[in-house]
Structure 1
Amino acid sequence: MASVEAGTGDEVARLRRELEQLREENHRLSRLLDLRGQGTAPAPEQLAAPVAPGLVTMGSPVEDKLALYADRFRARPDVYAVRWENQRIGTAGWMPAVAGGWRKGMDRRAAAHLPLTAEVVAAHLVGDMFLGLYPLLTDNTCRFLAADFDGSAAVLDALAYCKAARADGVPAALEISQAGRGAHVWVFFTGAIPAATARAVGTVLLHEAMVLRGSMDLRSYDRLFPNQDVLPDGGFGNLIAAPLQGRPPS
């Protein structure tokens, strides 16, 4: 019984140390923003203002919510990916969705890819499948940019990226991974822009996030999506897991 109590006490002490470190980090970043002339007060909640006509809320019809999701996370409409898992041997991965499913010996060049529809999005959101999006469009443009962070410092680095975006007047949305060990930061554009331009914006924000993090080098940063400026011959470019999946895979 004594060993259990000792273990619990050690865990509480560790959590208190981590909390204090996070407070110190938050205070340091706030001071940096103050030095740059940026306010650190939280923005007012969206619903504190009167609900504008056409604004999608919790009480909106399902069709409106699906349309909003599809508009924000607008990717290639002619193809999407699905996540597969083999629990017997412990492997998992992604593959483009095709009519009839993939079969052994199937010619990939002759496969009929399935389009991304509202029904597919709905299945993802309720957890019946896990959707992968191809952000790089066929004309080498994109409608969003996502920065991927992984590892123990992922959330702090992603927050620094968000603060850099806010300092430059770029609206950014932070998504914590399902496992809690990574993060995506999404930037949405009002229209399609060249992927090279979007990626340049992301690169600038990364450099500014490094300044905000001080001595930290953003080691958790993985890559930007789209991952390419130009669509590769015969390929779709790198996919990114769609957010808000209803039921995380086991």
Structure 2
Amino acid sequence: MTGISRELQSIEVELAAIDQRKAELLDRQSQLAAQRQHSIIPSISAPDHSALTTLQKVELFINLFQGREDIYALRWENKQGRSGYSVACANEWQQGICNKPKVKCGECSHRAYLPLDKQAVYDHLSGKKTIGLYPLSTEDQCWLLAADFDKADWQQAVTAFRQACENWDISCATERSRSGNGAHVWIFFEQAIAAKDARRLGFALLDKAMEQHAGLSFESYDRLFPNQDTMPAGGFGNLIALPLQSLPRKSGNSAFINEHFQPYPDQWGYLASVLKVSAKHLYECLGRGSADNGSNVKHLPIADVKPWERSIPVAKAQISGCPEVLELVLANKLYLPIAPLPQALVARIKRIASFSNPVFFKTQALRFSTNGIPRFICLAEIEQGYLALPRGCLDEVAALLEEQSINVDMEDKRSSGQRLKDIKFLGSCAKTRRGLSPISVNMTSVCCRRPPLLEKRW
């Protein structure tokens, strides 16, 4: 047996031992997680919880799901099956008083918003109505943070997010959505927290979750509640439907679920066991998140954050489990195989092809609604087991792989095309462009950036 063969056999033995050890650790991790869950929730079906009175259940619900108390949203559904939420008003559809839809509720002189009191919560829990919470207060504070996951991979995304919360000792509660095709992960605070800081915690947790599940969409950054740092002018902020809706619960939806996505037998016992996050612990986590991604941006208002600091930070730390060699394919895009890459590295590569949306920050600075405006724009896509990026990202991707001690094996699949004969360019630069440096004709890949106010014609 040659030296190479012996070494290959030795490597196979070591890899087999590593796989066995990994399986043992995963099994032990599951056991410890189960023990920890039982220690946090001693008995979710204990008699003292199941014997809660109706008033105690309402008070427990209000204690956790706090938001604006002067208003709430009411779910409606018409004969055509369309549904939505609108602010609850005592004069709604009153003849001669309510002029919807010609006059918006916020501009109506006859508006009489209903308060979110115990009776409203009781009606919600008993099935008389379905209500939504406005989590952002008029002081730009909140008592909770909720992350909404509704993509096809919502279970993997929720698992990664819950793991990120557990790693930072943050208690969270997962609620299956009304439709059953998604979930809300709720985090509750001991006191009112500035919405911008609560949302920064959500961003940091999403960053960590993406390192475990790289398929997590950047759209998740736009699915945090409260959805704004500050109250938009003339609005109430985004609402979120409250859990434990009577009718969906009969199908196991709008209910709190465990790590296996099964509803807890005693919903009220589980809610009574949920811990709240202190302000001190929140800011400790924010500091930890800033240190992990190398950002110097601390607890600054968005108006004080420099434009170059708004982009998604790319961490510099070494990632374990990286391959020694990676084959890249350069075609219409830059393709990287996902299978040999750790999830954390895939997440970092995706960030290279992502950038902050200036329209979002401009709209937010004007205190307008950012609904439907993505905070981040990601040009990375996953296609048939490959991570596809714009070819202009090649240099940054190569630098990142070099930092991780990964050798690149490039395969050029670009079409060389057919050279056109007797073709000459007769155009000339405009006067305002003549001072610009010419682009080298020897470059095979060029990434051009045009400032927003620069003319489109050359």
TM category, shorter: 0.7 to 0.9
Question: TM-score of the superposition, structure 2-length normalised?
Answer: 0.43
Q: Against the structure 1 CA distance between its residues 65 and 210, is the aligned structure 2 distance closer, same or farther, given a 3 Å change threshold?
A: same
**Superimposed CA distance per residue, residues 196-237 of structure 1 (whole angstroms, 9 cap, x where no aligned partner):** 000000000001001112x42346735100000001122110
Q: Which runs of 5+ in 1 are unaligned?
A: 1-26
**Superimposed CA distance per residue, residues 57-105 of structure 1 (whole angstroms, 9 cap, x where no aligned partner):** 1112211111010010001000000011012x22111100001323552
For residue 50 of structure 2, give the secondary structure of its aligned residue in structure 1: coil
Instruction: Determine the C-alpha separation between the residues in 1 that align with 2:224 and 2:48.
Output: 28
The equivalent residue for 1:84 is: 76
**Superimposed CA distance per residue, residues 4-23 of structure 1 (whole angstroms, 9 cap, x where no aligned partner):** xxxxxxxxxxxxxxxxxxxx
Larger-gyration structure (1/2): 2
CA displacement at 1:246 relative to structure 2: 0.7
Q: Higher mean Cα deviation, 140-149 or 170-179?
A: 170-179
The equivalent residue for 1:98 is: 89
Q: Against the structure 1 CA distance between its residues 202 and 40, is the aligned structure 2 distance closer, same or farther, given a 3 Å change threshold?
A: farther
Q: Against the structure 1 CA distance between its residues 157 and 44, is the aligned structure 2 distance closer, same or farther, given a 3 Å change threshold?
A: closer
Q: Higher mean Cα deviation, 137-146 or 147-156?
A: 147-156
1:192 maps onto 2:184 in alignment? no
The equivalent residue for 1:47 is: 42
Contact in 2 for aligned 1:151/1:220 (Cα 8 Å): no
| Alignment equivalent of 1:66, drawn from 37, 46, 58 | 58
Q: Against the structure 1 CA distance between its residues 56 and 79, is the aligned structure 2 distance closer, same or farther, given a 3 Å change threshold?
A: farther
Question: TM-score of the superposition, structure 1-length normalised?
Answer: 0.77
For residue 47 of structure 1, give the secondary structure of its aligned residue in structure 2: coil
**Superimposed CA distance per residue, residues 163-199 of structure 1 (whole angstroms, 9 cap, x where no aligned partner):** 1001011111111112210100000000001000000
2:72 counterpart letter in structure 1: Y
CA displacement at 1:39 relative to structure 2: 8.3
Instruction: Determine the C-alpha separation between the residues in 2 that align with 1:219 and 1:58.
Output: 40
For residue 217 of structure 1, give the secondary structure of its aligned residue in structure 2: coil
Instruction: Determine the C-alpha separation between the residues in 2 that align with 1:229 and 1:142.
Output: 10
Q: Higher mean Cα deviation, 106-115 or 194-203?
A: 106-115
Q: How many residues align?
A: 213
The higher-RCO structure (CA 8 Å, 6+ apart) is: 1
Q: Against the structure 1 CA distance between its residues 139 and 193, is the aligned structure 2 distance closer, same or farther, given a 3 Å change threshold?
A: same
Q: Against the structure 1 CA distance between its residues 120 and 183, is the aligned structure 2 distance closer, same or farther, given a 3 Å change threshold?
A: same
Instruction: Determine the C-alpha separation between the residues in 1 that align with 2:207 and 2:200.
Output: 11
Q: What percentage of residue pairs aligned between the two structures are identical?
A: 39
The equivalent residue for 1:134 is: 134
CA displacement at 1:152 relative to structure 2: 1.5
2:173 counterpart letter in structure 1: A
Q: Which runs of 5+ in 2 are unaligned?
A: 1-21, 250-458
Instruction: Determine the C-alpha separation between the residues in 1 that align with 2:194 and 2:93.
Output: 32
